[in-house]
Amino acid sequence: MTASAPAQTDTTPRTDRYRVSVAQYIAFRRNGFLVVPNLVSAEDIEELRQHTEDLMQGRLPEQNRQMRERDVRGDAGVTVQGLEAPPAHLSPEEKAQYFLRIHMLHRKLGLHERYLLHPRVLDVLEVIIGPDVLALQTMLFLKPPGKPGQGWHQDSYYIPTHPDTLCGAWIAIDDCDERNGAMWMAKGSGHEPIYPPCPEVGYGFGDKLVGDITYVKGVSDTDDEKNLLARVADRYDQVLVPAKAGDVVFFNGHVLHRSKTNFTEDRFRRAFVSHYCNARAFTQWGADSPAGDPHAAPAVDPATGMTNGSHILARGDTHLPYALPRFGTFCAALQSPEERRREREFAARMIADTNHGLMGCAIADPNAAEDDHDDTQSGGY
């Protein structure tokens, strides 16, 4: 466990917990994705929108140095930035063109940590991949007019977890549709294995033990002729996933998805995207060692290569290492072991009290034609 924030307990009862329906649960399992409307409040979305405006214009106090000069006209520019400010002499429109996506700012900004650990987002994740949830990654997408999309890919290709429980949560900051670059999903492709990279590609993870699996290259390339995953996606119904500001799109790590260019002249397609896995899954992705923290766990476990200690325990509990939130955002990592245990003890009590029928011991009759146990007592099939 990485010690980087003081332990605290949130004793305020929540009145806004989101309840996932059976239909939503089934849709996520069947389709590989789920859109939950209005999960994030209008006030929160306005805060995120103002934050992106300030970031693009270089107004955040953390943006204390400026980027180098480069081409700002579109595709030729760098697409992943740090937290530098754009050159001061540029117009507001030109400054905005400097940004497409920024990774892992929850390790630098308290606001990003808060939205990574947003309670209502975690409510859904607790049901569909939990109850134990580990928060792994954040990405802020700005996607100004004219910026490109991303070709077909599977997120677990980039962020492997074992067992694979990866799930993305895509908070729409702006309304998004086909014109400004909403996501597309290959509906039902969440059942596919992760297609591994060809040896010459280098980076990427895949299910190499599947006997007849196809190795791929060009993953995330917007040119479907170069991206071999496009051939897999073509076996499925490819559906546009529009979203309103405040909607959250959840999608598992196997589902094939893509986005296209923002074809508009005056609309951004901003989104705050986080990735999570079950907190009892093992990962070697995303090592982080907080600078100057003498109590920090090693970024990489020397024996196993495990990096779980770099990631925040958001909900539930785990037998594996985890990090505390740097900015003190309340989550399971800040609860005491006793508090986490109390929240899970109900399951143990239920099982311990069920000591009969199929849950307990019984003498088998080899001459019986069928099991005549009482389904109402033992649960049945």
At 214-239, the pLDDT tens digits run 999 999 999 999 999 999 999 999 99
Query: Which tokens belong to 3?
Result: 């010690």
Question: Percent helix, strand and coil across the chain, each rounded to 5?
Answer: 25, 20, 60
pLDDT higher at 82 or 207: 207
Q: Region 126-146: what's the mean pLDDT?
A: 96
Mutual angle of helices 22-31 and 119-128, in 10-degree steps: 70
| Total domains present in the chain | 1
Query: What value does the mean pLDDT of the chain take?
Result: 87
Q: Region 105-118: what's the mean pLDDT?
A: 97
- pLDDT-based confidence at 1, cuts 50/70/90? low
Measured distance CA(106)–CA(355) in Å, rounded: 46
Max distance between CA atoms of the chain, in angstroms, equals: 89
pLDDT higher at 321 or 79: 321
pLDDT tens for each residue of 5-30? 544 455 567 899 999 999 999 999 99
Going by C-beta distance under 8 Å and a sequence separation of 6 or more, which residues neighbour residue 184? 238, 239, 240, 241, 257, 258, 259, 260
293 has pLDDT over 60: no
Amino acid at 280: R
**HSE (side-chain half, CA atoms, 13 Å) at 312:** 32
* Angstrom distances, CA of residue 62 to CA of 32, 54, 59, 200, 327: 37, 11, 8, 39, 15
3 has pLDDT over 60: no
Would you tell me how many other CB atoms lie within 10 Å of the CB of residue 240? 12
In this structure, is residue 117 part of a structural domain?
A: yes
In this structure, is residue 30 part of a structural domain?
A: yes
Domain of 164 in residue numbering reads as 22-335
SS3 of residue 36 by DSSP: strand
* pLDDT given at position 16: 92
In this structure, is residue 155 part of a structural domain?
A: yes
Measured distance CA(28)–CA(156) in Å, rounded: 17
276 has pLDDT over 60: yes
pLDDT higher at 370 or 329: 329
The whole model's pTM is what? 0.86
Measured distance CA(90)–CA(68) in Å, rounded: 12
Measured distance CA(89)–CA(226) in Å, rounded: 39
In this structure, is residue 9 part of a structural domain?
A: no
Residues 207/158, Cβ–Cβ less than 8 Å: no
In this structure, is residue 1 part of a structural domain?
A: no
In this structure, is residue 358 part of a structural domain?
A: no
In this structure, is residue 68 part of a structural domain?
A: yes
Q: Under the phi-then-psi rule, with left for phi > 0, alpha for psi from -120 to 50, and beta for the rest, what region is 60?
A: beta
Q: Which helix (H) or strand (E) holds 172?
A: strand 167-172
Cα dihedral angle (259, 264, 267, 269), rounded to 10 degrees?
Answer: 0
Measured distance CA(183)–CA(238) in Å, rounded: 10
* pLDDT given at position 267: 96
Query: Which tokens belong to 50?
Result: 């103002």
Query: Which tokens belong to 292?
Result: 């100057």
Would you tell me how many other CB atoms lie within 10 Å of the CB of residue 214? 14
296 has pLDDT over 70: no
CATH number at residue 144: 2.60.120.620
Query: Which tokens belong to 195?
Result: 């297609």
* pLDDT given at position 365: 62
* Token pair 């590609």: residue: 201
* Angstrom distances, CA of residue 284 to CA of 104, 160, 310: 16, 8, 10
Q: Under the phi-then-psi rule, with left for phi > 0, alpha for psi from -120 to 50, and beta for the rest, what region is 207?
A: beta
In this structure, is residue 2 part of a structural domain?
A: no
- pLDDT-based confidence at 77, cuts 50/70/90? very low
Tell me the range of 39-53, 81-95, 290-304, 354-368 where mean pLDDT is highest. Answer: 39-53
Q: Region 356-374: what's the mean pLDDT?
A: 56
Percent share of the chain, pLDDT over 90: 71
* Token pair 């245990």: residue: 341
* 40-44, 76-80, 106-110, 116-120, range with the lowest pLDDT: 76-80
